[in-house]
Amino acid sequence: MSASEVLKGQIRTILGTGPSRELRRNGMIPATIYGDNKEPMSVSLEEKEVTKLYKKHGFTSNVVEIELDGKKIKVLPKSVELHPTKEFVRHADFIFLPAKGMQKVEVPVVYENKEKSVGVKKGGFFNIIKRKILLNCPVDSIPSDITIDVSNMQVGTSLTTKKLKLPEGCSLFAKKDIVLASITGRGGKSSSSEEDSPENAA
């Protein structure tokens, strides 16, 4: 589990388009925290800090603490709205992280040694089909990513979710076996196209 980031924020009591514009003019953004059977909470956060968090590896699997009036709330990033022409965050959604139990988390997959894999050295193409998978993880041990050494993959082979070695306590959210990556021969095409949608990732 990655160390918690801390974002300082304020509770928002005045909502709407006008107040949101005013926040952004002052370097802040509106954000919402929901889930875990709790009342949704509207807050304001510093735009630069949220954008920096968004650009970090494993955005949706990084545990975050939002500090409000001296009290810290543990959350997971869920999604962001970006500026239409610039890569900075305009709005963010977070989910409350329960104190104990399991949590569904979207975790990035890192394919290690792609260029050094046996199949690629023989002229094959490494096709990434999924960049993220959905896991059920203990709330106190959420992995920042799942790293897979693909150096032994041959041309014509594929890597599926059921071949993964998951961290202790974690399990796949989806029951079916899903292709994550494949190596096709030179000029060949993968049977699946890359799809990063969380709903289809696992």
pLDDT at 14: 79
Residues 76 and 27 grouped into a single domain: yes
Q: Is the pLDDT of residue 189 over 80?
A: no
Whole-model pTM: value is 0.78
Q: Which residue has the higher pLDDT, 186 or 166?
A: 166
pLDDT digits (tens, 9 = 90+) for 72-112: 999 999 999 998 888 889 999 999 999 889 999 999 999 99
Q: Is the sign of the CA dihedral 149, 150, 153, 156 positive or negative?
A: positive
Q: Which residue is listed with tokens 């709903």? A: 199
pLDDT digits (tens, 9 = 90+) for 64-76: 999 998 899 999 9
User: 175 to each of 3, 128, 163, 180, how far by Cα in Å?
Assistant: 30, 21, 13, 14
Q: Which residue is listed with tokens 């952004």? A: 24
| Single-letter code of the amino acid located at 188 | G
Backbone angles phi and psi of 193, in degrees to 5:
-100, 160
Determine the Cα–Cα distance for residues 180 and 158; give it in Å rounded to an integer: 7
pLDDT at 186: 65
Domain end position, chosen among 63, 81, 96: 96
Residues 92 and 106 grouped into a single domain: no
Determine the Cα–Cα distance for residues 98 and 104; give it in Å rounded to an integer: 11
pLDDT digits (tens, 9 = 90+) for 8-41: 999 988 788 888 888 888 999 999 999 988 999 9
pLDDT at 185: 85
The tokens for 56 are 């970090």
- Domain residue limits at 178: 102-201
* 76: CATH: 2.40.240.10
Residues 129 and 192 grouped into a single domain: yes
